[in-house]
């Protein structure tokens, strides 16, 4: 397995380039029942679909993905994605963490690093996400990263078979809580 190619380091986590040899691990994280519940998905993606989509994703400039790596041991623990709208200079944020790494504060750190990149390197003017209302841990992590509630889509999602609201959250550059790992790297 190749070593991670780190792009941006924070205190506990770093963002790196996704690695093809990690694709089975990524697929496992994405297929976990708690991940599917959080995404509001009904079924996991077939391995063949995930594998065949790898090359298309790599060449798609509108889909910027980062591997989330623990700095202490260089272990990959998740992925963050920015679905970029190049015309509007905005992006939708998506995250998946390895099931064993949830509940450790990594979601907020990974989201903050991804926002740091989005605002200070990609010069996006806004990043947004959707989160199912019962996912209180997700909402809290996103708030710590700088996201704010912007609205809701009533009964547009499902949580444990029940219709629930999706909360829309967004972050602007001035919402970024800092400190900026990008600024620290540039000024080093």
79-119 pLDDT per residue, tens: 999 999 999 999 999 999 999 999 999 999 999 999 999 99
Q: Work out the average pLDDT over 51-56.
A: 86
Residue 179's φ and ψ, nearest 5 degrees, are -70, 160
- What mean pLDDT value characterizes the chain? 95
Using CA atoms, how far apart are residues 171 and 176, in angstroms rounded to an integer? 7
> Above 90 in pLDDT, residue 57?
no
Evaluate whether 106 touches 141 at the Cβ level (below 8 Å).
no
How many C-beta atoms surround the C-beta of residue 86 within 10 A?
10
The whole-model pTM stands at 0.95
> Above 80 in pLDDT, residue 188?
no
* Structure token pair of residue 77: 């623990």
> Above 80 in pLDDT, residue 74?
yes
Evaluate whether 5 touches 16 at the Cβ level (below 8 Å).
yes
* Structure token pair of residue 83: 């679905």
Candidates 23, 153, 37; CA nearest to 76 is: 23
* Structure token pair of residue 147: 């996201």
Using CA atoms, how far apart are residues 111 and 144, in angstroms rounded to an integer? 9
**What would the DSSP string read from start to end of 31-81?**
HSHHHHHHHT-SSPPPHHHHHHHHHHHHT-TTEEEEEEEETTT--EEEEEE
Residue with tokens 């798609």: 60
> Above 80 in pLDDT, residue 1?
no
- Residue 122 carries which DSSP code? S
């Amino acid at each position: 397995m190749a070593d991670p190619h780190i792009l941006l380091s924070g205190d506990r986590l770093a963002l790196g380039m996704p690695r093809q040899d990690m694709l089975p691990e990524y697929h496992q994280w994405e297929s976990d029942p708690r991940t599917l519940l959080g995404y509001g998905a009904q079924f996991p993606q077939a391995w063949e679909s995930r594998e065949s989509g790898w090359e298309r994703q790599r060449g798609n400039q509108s889909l910027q993905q980062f591997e989330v790596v623990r700095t202490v041991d260089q272990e990959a623990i998740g992925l963050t994605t920015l679905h970029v709208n190049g015309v509007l200079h905005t992006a939708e944020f998506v995250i998946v963490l390895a099931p064993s790494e949830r509940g450790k504060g990594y979601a907020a750190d990974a989201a903050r690093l991804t926002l740091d990149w989005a605002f200070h390197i990609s010069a996006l003017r806004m990043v947004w996400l959707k989160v199912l209302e019962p996912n209180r841990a997700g909402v809290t992590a996103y708030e710590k990263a700088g996201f704010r509630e912007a609205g809701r889509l009533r009964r547009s999602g499902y949580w444990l078979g029940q219709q629930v609201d999706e909360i829309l959250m967004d972050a602007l550059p001035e919402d970024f809580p800092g400190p900026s790992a990008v600024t620290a790297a540039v000024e080093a």
